[in-house]
Chain A
């Protein structure tokens, strides 16, 4: 009896492994001939899942748009989305799967610099086109000639923020952002630009994400008595911070949000009323269509700012494929580099010699009566 039992157990384990192996073999063959498939590696689970899901939505919108307009090379466009779980190793596994099994000529990804850099380096070595839609670390510049960014790196965003805040007459700022590659990058660039203008950053508060409350952080702000609080945070952290700041009476100090729509997306409207901030051109006159399309499709405001960049990444890749008349990675790379000015959801995009987004138009916005409004500049 015991022996029988052991046998069944072993075969159960074997069946599980067999299923995985079968799926591995079968997966590659599932691609139809009449589609051009691009790849994307996004953090759909793990700590950055909210952002990953928003990035995926941008891709979904773009694929619908491209196919509604006739697809690429007369074929349908598809994007195979893989989950990185927010881990570098899973991200690289996913990129390798896309390249060596699904044979995608372009891979879009990831969000966190710690994953984007190794994925980009791998794609560069393999000669596959890499489009970075979410990381802003300056290290991205060094990946190589196959790598492009649709997002402006931190130096661009930091300089804009510093000028806007200084222009409002604030001189003494505290800086509040998540302690990750994004927060640290945007902090050091903003601080440098703000101090070059003559302002002063009296406290930098790079907080650990996912805490149950941020009172300790916020009390340090109160102690520093700043003119302005420059901050950034993803939906849920920002909502907690805004609520607690409101409850601590800190909302009397002016707040300036970097990517304000992201900072206010999940916050209660009362807690962020009157906040100023910088934003990608979605809310401006020539970018509002994207925000409307997103709202129509998903029934909600942006959870983060990052969906527009994946949208633009897919649109530009599709444009480059059509321009090259081929889905060969080398041809797509050339076409992308020569695409010139592209009118994207996040504003006009042009690449510099390193494949990075040369300029990114930002606008100053304010939160009034439950929505973001373009502020007179």
Chain B
């Protein structure tokens, strides 16, 4: 049981990083990125490919972050003058294209077989010790990411981002370069998502194209929306909640005796209904954004 809980915490921390990244883009900057899993995936695959080539993980992880930052930069450039919802759907399309490349270019990505047998984190340790070390690393990185996202939100840049979210025309009128802001926040968010992806690969010692399905993006979105869009703590809470839910729902099945041919549908149904219940009962998320006055410090 202890190990299982540690595992859930590690996964929460990893997805917490991805959720903080999305929250920075979507919550603070109002950029509805529905291709978040592509940034996560670029980091994950980059780390897998580099460690397979013999690079140690402390070197591969930053490289993965850089690759994902570049990915974020690219989708930021792509959507220069698109309205928010169109840009959102364009990112979904780009993410699917990234997944198709991962699926079809087997010389680089292992194709549908994925890349397995990666030397993971702390190969010297075993069992609970290894899980604890991994958790410490993941939690530390989550903390760093969250603090950085929070600081960014408080800086001048963060205020411009929020202004861009609430009123892009006003932001332009005040002389801010919206495109530059977009690209910058996506590159930063990309690096964070890449970090999450890299950790994910190193922890599970495997990455495959099925991990990049659009459903995974929706999952990260669910974390951010449940936690409360626009709040860093909310993203972390949301990630913990959703991860625990996914890991915990199978236990509900053990508590109530049900025919095992209903196991699959029950699990999916329970997750859907809990997410829906939280959304209906607390539409602003569990940790709503504290409203700041946008014009407190006009530039």
A and B touch in the complex (CB under 8 A): yes
Chain A residues with CB under 8 Å of B4's CB are 96-97, 100-101
Nearest B residue to A6 by beta-carbon distance? Answer: B282
B113 and A185 contact, CB distance less than 8 A: yes
**Mask for A92-121, Cβ within 8 A of B = 1, else 0?**
111011011100000000001111011001
Listed residue (B106, B126, B127, B247) with the most chain A CB atoms within 10 angstroms of its CB: B247
A113 and B251 contact, CB distance less than 8 A: no
**Mask for A13-56, Cβ within 8 A of B = 1, else 0?**
10011011111101110100000000000011110010011001
Give, as a whole number of angstroms, the nearest-CB distance from A104 to chain B: 13
Given the known A-B contacts A49-B264, A85-B264, A184-B106, are A27 and B251 also in contact in the complex, defined by CB atoms under 8 Å? yes
Within 8 A of B (CB), among A60-86: 60, 80-83, 85-86
B112 and A27 contact, CB distance less than 8 A: no
Q: Is A9 close to B, CB under 8 A? A: yes
**Mask for B95-129, Cβ within 8 A of A = 1, else 0?**
00000000110100001111011000000001100
Given the known A-B contacts A45-B264, A96-B7, are A88 and B117 also in contact in the complex, defined by CB atoms under 8 Å? no
Nearest A residue to B4 by beta-carbon distance? Answer: A100
Chain A residues with CB under 8 Å of B127's CB are 126
Given the known A-B contacts A16-B277, A45-B268, are A184 and B204 also in contact in the complex, defined by CB atoms under 8 Å? no
Q: Is B180 close to A, CB under 8 A? A: no
Chain B residues with CB under 8 Å of A17's CB are 241
Q: Is A163 close to B, CB under 8 A? A: no
Q: Count A-B contacts at CB 8 Å.
A: 158
Cα–Cα, bound, A22→B11 (Å) = 21
Give, as a whole number of angstroms, the nearest-CB distance from B13 to chain A: 14
Nearest A residue to B249 by beta-carbon distance? Answer: A20
15 A-B pairs with C-beta separation under 8 A: A12-B281, A13-B278, A16-B277, A27-B254, A30-B254, A49-B264, A85-B264, A88-B206, A92-B7, A94-B250, A100-B1, A115-B210, A117-B114, A142-B117, A184-B111
Chain A residues with CB under 8 Å of B79's CB are none
Q: Is A322 close to B, CB under 8 A? A: no
Q: Is A225 close to B, CB under 8 A? A: no
Nearest B residue to A86 by beta-carbon distance? Answer: B210
Give, as a whole number of angstroms, the nearest-CB distance from B168 to chain A: 32
Chain A residues with CB under 8 Å of B263's CB are 44, 81-83
Chain A residues with CB under 8 Å of B265's CB are 44-45
Q: Is B177 close to A, CB under 8 A? A: no
Judged by DSSP, the binding face of B is helix
Q: Is A139 close to B, CB under 8 A? A: yes
Number of residues in A with C-beta < 8 Å to the partner? 61
Cα–Cα, bound, A179→B100 (Å) = 11
Top 6 A-B pairs, shortest CB-CB distance:
A44-B264, A45-B264, A114-B208, A27-B251, A27-B254, A118-B206
Chain B residues with CB under 8 Å of A113's CB are 112-114, 208
Listed residue (B117, B208, B265) with the most chain A CB atoms within 10 angstroms of its CB: B208
Q: Is A357 close to B, CB under 8 A? A: no
Listed residue (A9, A28, A93, A112) with the most chain B CB atoms within 10 angstroms of its CB: A93
**Mask for B251-268, Cβ within 8 A of A = 1, else 0?**
110110000110111011
Q: Is A87 close to B, CB under 8 A? A: yes
Q: Is A240 close to B, CB under 8 A? A: no
B251 and A23 contact, CB distance less than 8 A: yes
Q: Is A90 close to B, CB under 8 A? A: yes
Binding site for B on A (CB under 8 A): 9-10, 12-13, 16-17, 19-24, 26-28, 30, 43-46, 49, 52-53, 56, 60, 80-83, 85-90, 92-94, 96-97, 99-101, 112-115, 117-118, 121, 125-126, 137, 139, 142, 179-181, 183-185
Given the known A-B contacts A19-B252, A24-B251, A97-B251, are A92 and B204 also in contact in the complex, defined by CB atoms under 8 Å? yes
A87 and B210 contact, CB distance less than 8 A: yes
Nearest A residue to B11 by beta-carbon distance? Answer: A89
In the complex, besides A89-B211, A92-B204, 13 extra interface pairs with C-beta distance below 8 angstroms are: A9-B281, A13-B286, A22-B255, A23-B251, A23-B255, A26-B255, A44-B267, A81-B263, A101-B4, A113-B113, A113-B114, A118-B204, A179-B104
Give, as a whole number of angstroms, the nearest-CB distance from A311 to chain B: 15
Listed residue (B7, B11, B204, B254) with the most chain A CB atoms within 10 angstroms of its CB: B254
Within 8 A of A (CB), among B140-163: none
Chain A residues with CB under 8 Å of B116's CB are 117-118, 121, 139, 142
Chain A residues with CB under 8 Å of B206's CB are 88, 114, 117-118, 121
Within 8 A of A (CB), among B194-210: 204-206, 208-210
A118 and B205 contact, CB distance less than 8 A: yes
Cα–Cα, bound, A53→B208 (Å) = 23
Cα–Cα, bound, A331→B4 (Å) = 24
Cα–Cα, bound, A139→B106 (Å) = 14
Give, as a whole number of angstroms, the nearest-CB distance from A313 to chain B: 16
Chain B residues with CB under 8 Å of A97's CB are 4, 247, 250-251
Chain B residues with CB under 8 Å of A56's CB are 260-261
Given the known A-B contacts A49-B264, A56-B260, are A23 and B281 also in contact in the complex, defined by CB atoms under 8 Å? no
Within 8 A of A (CB), among B53-107: 103-104, 106
Give, as a whole number of angstroms, the nearest-CB distance from A217 to chain B: 15
Cα–Cα, bound, A142→B3 (Å) = 25
**Mask for B1-14, Cβ within 8 A of A = 1, else 0?**
11110011001000
**Mask for B206-219, Cβ within 8 A of A = 1, else 0?**
10111100010000
Cα–Cα, bound, A45→B263 (Å) = 8
Chain A residues with CB under 8 Å of B268's CB are 45, 85
B246 and A93 contact, CB distance less than 8 A: yes
